[in-house]
Structure 1
Amino acid sequence: MVSFELNDTKKIGIGLTGFGVFFSFLGIIFFFDKGLLAMGNILFIAGLMLTIGLKSTMLFFAKPKNYKGTISFGVGFFLLLIGWPFFGMILEAYGFIVLFSGFWPTVAVLLQRLPILGWIFRQPAVTSFFTGYRGKRVPV
């Protein structure tokens, strides 16, 4: 059963996930700095584990439909660590998209309901991008 209350552990996990995304973004901005990218990946995975739990994280990455994304993400992280950050990030990005592709409709609804920027994501050109994805309609 999934608990939706935000205890201190989940708050720390959300913070670590945010810092992981931030450090990964900085690593890309600074011409694929492997130190920042590696720290971003570690913080992202640690934050995910604290947010949804260790068991749920392991089950998510070990699902048979997620094997391709998990292997791509892992090989990309390995390439990043051995000094090939550009190719590692390409593989990691592919793995990330494959792993989290089921969450895109939910992200689209969240973006459309943002108070200030939501109107951008409700424009026909943007909504057609999300509704065309795997044939799923995104309610507004």
Structure 2
Amino acid sequence: MIQISDIQKLGVGLAGFGISLLILGVLLLFDKGLLAIGNILFISGLACVIGIQRTFRFFFQRHKTRATICFFGGIIIVLIGWPLIGMIFELYGFILLFSGFFPVAVNFIRRVPVLGTFLNLPVISGIVDRISGSSHRTMV
């Protein structure tokens, strides 16, 4: 069994709280304060979960240069005061950065009892397969 340290537990909480604030900031018509705090908490939570060196290596790989520039550029644009434009850049960078993780996440969610049944519906499974980029999927 994998041991989870207290710092990693704190990181999961920070990242979750950051994502919650990002969602709330979008729902409240792109409130720049909530979006800025959510971005900072998400990045700090990610650094706590996987470590500072691994976070740095993840973001600053040569083949992820454009994604990293868009993601952090979006954060800077949000901090400057243009939340809608910043979130568009940020979303584009996020999709490019984490696109390799999407098929793994979709396969995991398909194994969750209620969500898996929902994702395996004919129309929804086609959409999710297209989004995740998986050419074949694991049947539950």
Q: Which residue of 2 aligns with 1:96?
A: 94
Relative to structure 2, which stretch is displaced further, 95-104 or 125-134?
125-134
Q: Taking every aligned residue pair, what percent have the same amino acid on both sides? A: 42
Q: Which residue of 2 aligns with 1:137?
A: 136
Q: Which residue of 2 aligns with 1:29?
A: 27
Q: Which residue of 1 aligns with 2:114?
A: 116
Q: Which residue of 2 aligns with 1:85?
A: 83
- The DSSP-based 3-state class of the residue aligned with 1:56 is helix
User: Which runs of 5 or more structure 2 residues have no equivalent in the other structure?
Assistant: none
2:71 corresponds to 1:73: yes
- The DSSP-based 3-state class of the residue aligned with 1:15 is helix
Q: TM-score of the superposition, structure 1-length normalised? A: 0.91
How much does 1:135 deviate? 5.1
User: Which runs of 5 or more structure 1 residues have no equivalent in the other structure?
Assistant: none
Aligned length: 138
How much does 1:111 deviate? 1.3
Relative to structure 2, which stretch is displaced further, 46-55 or 105-114?
105-114
Q: Which residue of 2 aligns with 1:55?
A: 53
Q: TM-score of the superposition, structure 2-length normalised? A: 0.91
CA contact (8 A) 2:103 2:134 kept: no
Q: 2-side partners of 1:128 and 1:60: how far apart?
A: 30
Q: 2-side partners of 1:84 and 1:105: how far apart?
A: 32
CA contact (8 A) 1:79 1:85 kept: yes
2:38 maps to amino acid: G
- The DSSP-based 3-state class of the residue aligned with 2:114 is coil
